[in-house]
Structure 1
Amino acid sequence: MKKGVVLSLIAASLMLVGCSGKKEEQKSEAVAHQTEQKAETKKAESVQQTQKSEPVKRDVASAVHQEQAPQTSASAQELFNKCASCHGPDGKRKALGKSGIIAGMSKDEVLKKLKEYEAGTLNKYGMGPLMKAQVAGLSDKELEALAEYIASMK
């Protein structure tokens, strides 16, 4: 008799386990379907946002193109503000305690080093990658204005 009770309990357990798996499969299929719908909705929304922002990008690009003008000494000072965080406001600090002092360097010397950092050919004091990132995106006119400004520091 004990054997019959044990067998019936095992059979009932197997039936419960077997039946419960189908519901989970149905749930996971429903969740997958909902996830796909959400992904499609987000994709459609991002396409709409992109389409809306394209005219704005074109307007901004044309405005920037129209506003380009020769650099002035004030803008050279603004460019140097980025440098001052490491080199000091007067250029007399060793950047990150490693580099040479830039105040007192000639315009040609500064310009040469800036262009070498920009090209990735100078790695003095191990500062090459950091300096390359700092001068990236600066035009030749901006580099010249910056070099002239640094050379004026004595």
Structure 2
Amino acid sequence: MIVRLSAKLATKIKASKLAESPLDENLYADWSASLFTAARTQYILLTNTPSLYSCVLYGRGITDDNRLIGRALDAIREFMEDDGQQFVYQRFIAPSAATVKFAKALNRSVTGSMTDQVKFAKILLEEDEQPPSEIGHVLNETPMSALIGGDGKKYGYPKEVFKRLLDGVGQ
């Protein structure tokens, strides 16, 4: 499993120098993570790198790589179970979590899309006062220009693209 850390998050957990890494062969096991603050509270956006399928968790108490990995996997599992994706978690993510490797961001398209998701998440957290557990559902139903939709046109939905990864379609 690959977890791609933002510079802020790498600093927070005192990660060693991050290397570049291509997408994991198992597309479900490649995640990007970014630390952000909303209303003076730290949060982490976890995003499946090829599909931009995301969830949000509290960042408080995450001070090293072991805590990040444990809390991230718990958040992904809980979110995916709530979203009806427990089979995908159990079949493709959980087995790959035995070995986690940290890496740099994949490309600017992913980091730019995550920046947009963070801005939207901040609005939902600060103005709408939604809990982090609900933010991912909204983000995953928001069209993203970096994704190709099911009809082959620009602006795909993260939730749809994530489901299509099983078919090998991806982006």
**TM-score, normalisation: structure 2:** 0.24
Which structure has greater helix proportion? Answer: 1
Higher relative contact order (CA 8 A, sep 6+): 2
**TM-score, normalisation: structure 1:** 0.26
